Amino acid sequence: MPGIGPKSAERLTFHLLRSSKANPDALGKALLELKSGLKYCTHCQMVATDDLCAICTDTSRDRSSVLVVESPLEVIAFEKTSYKGMYHVLHGVLSPLDGMGPEQLKLKELIDRAALEKIDEVIIATNPDTEGEATAIYIRQQLDKKVGRVSRLAHGLPMGADIEFADQVTLREAIAGRRSL
Amino acid sequence: MPGIGPKSAERLTFHLLRSSKANPDALGKALLELKSGLKYCTHCQMVATDDLCAICTDTSRDRSSVLVVESPLEVIAFEKTSYKGMYHVLHGVLSPLDGMGPEQLKLKELIDRAALEKIDEVIIATNPDTEGEATAIYIRQQLDKKVGRVSRLAHGLPMGADIEFADQVTLREAIAGRRSL
């Protein structure tokens, strides 16, 4: 497993052996259920233990806004911010060389949601790289006239950055996306 | 000097000794002129060898836009992008604890420029940290009604970033500053 060599494995094993019996049993049980118990939420495609994930069943959230991300890990990242809308997980980005076309992504599910639900805004939050940009543009075309607004996360300088060491593309995007003060 | 220890100094000295006579002489002359020959451009406060820097004397540049930066190094960073307007170097940011008040910055010179020149837009490009933000807000107040528009560089995800590892403040700014696709 990544980051665990023979020495670490030995130390972990002896820790489990020496500790009270509950520990390895609970871990073993959880590991047995890891693959069988885990499904994708039928609504947003996030990992879930039931048909719907905890976010989709939460009635206090704003259902008019959907943030589209590449993977479940990004949902966890956005959940640490004050964002209180819904999500849609694509499980990948368009990348023809890696055999990732529109059919390999959970894109049909997003278009279905746009047709069935009252979505005011879809915020595309794919990574700011070549594949992420291409995917964002493709999704916008597919959602054309199906939702109120399709937007993209802002590109620019991250907080705490040093302009002196910023790359040219980021500086260009930061100038292009400047906002009135 | 930073990054040059006794070993490096020895190697550099012997390189100068062994090479043709022109090298150490030219370097010595340049070093003698480093402090005496260098001034600040009277217009934009960038380092210059004459009263005006190469950017301020370039008639092909767009004089209606002024990018306000903290230090000359940032001018060099922006010169690598396609920005073709003018600059103003503050030589610092507001930082009361370090004794940096508005009088310690080249701020009066900027306000004078705003009064004398026809400036359509001032883009404040101080670093995206606490001092940089405070300085940006202070400058906007000082320039109120003196220029057409005061703007700030976009905050958000830098190009090539991974959303999974982005900090919460950057993600929040990226959502807040989202743009229609």
CA A139 remoteness from chain centre: 15
Judged by CB atoms closer than 8 Å, whether chains meet at A128 and B164 is answered as no
Chain A nearest CA to B174, separation (Å): 4
A159, B170 contact by CB (below 8 A): yes
Of B127, B176, B177, which is closest to A177 when you measure between CB atoms? B177
Rounded mean pLDDT, A86-100: 94
Burial group, residue A110, by CB count within 10 angstroms (0-12, 13-18, 19+): buried
DSSP string, B27-63: HHHHHHHHHHS-EE-TTT--EESSSS-TTTT-TTSEE
B113, B96 contact by CB (below 8 A): no
B133, A130 contact by CB (below 8 A): no
Judged by CB atoms closer than 8 Å, whether chains meet at A155 and B156 is answered as yes
| CA pair distance A123, A104, nearest whole angstrom | 21
Rounded mean pLDDT, B28-44: 86
pLDDT of residue A22: 63
pTM, 2 dp: 0.78
Q: Provide the CATH topology of domain B57-180.
A: Dna Topoisomerase Vi A Subunit; Chain: A, domain 2 (3.40.1360)
Higher pLDDT, A50 or B85: B85
Cβ contacts (< 8 Å) between A143 and chain B: which residues?
Answer: none
Q: Please provide the average confidence, as pLDDT, over all residues in chain B.
A: 91
| H/E stretch holding B142 | helix B130-143
User: Structural domain boundaries of chain A?
Assistant: 57-180
Judged by CB atoms closer than 8 Å, whether chains meet at B136 and A168 is answered as no
Rounded mean pLDDT, A82-109: 94
pLDDT of residue A24: 81
pLDDT at B27 over 70: yes
pLDDT of residue A135: 96
Number of other CB atoms surrounding residue B54 within 10 Å? 12
Burial group, residue A12, by CB count within 10 angstroms (0-12, 13-18, 19+): exposed
CA distances from A138 to A151, B133, B161, B162 (A): 13, 36, 20, 20
| CA pair distance A138, A90, nearest whole angstrom | 13
Flag whether the ipTM exceeds 0.90: no
Of B77, B136, B181, which is closest to A151 when you measure between CB atoms? B181
pLDDT at B21 over 80: no
Residue of B nearest to A121 (CA): B180
Residue A16's pLDDT band (cuts 50, 70, 90): confident
Nearest to B175 by CA among A156, A22, A46, A9: A156
Summarize pLDDT for A111-170 with one digit per residue, the tens. Answer: 999 999 999 999 999 999 999 999 999 999 999 889 999 999 999 999 988 998 999 999
Cβ contacts (< 8 Å) between A128 and chain B: which residues?
Answer: 157-161
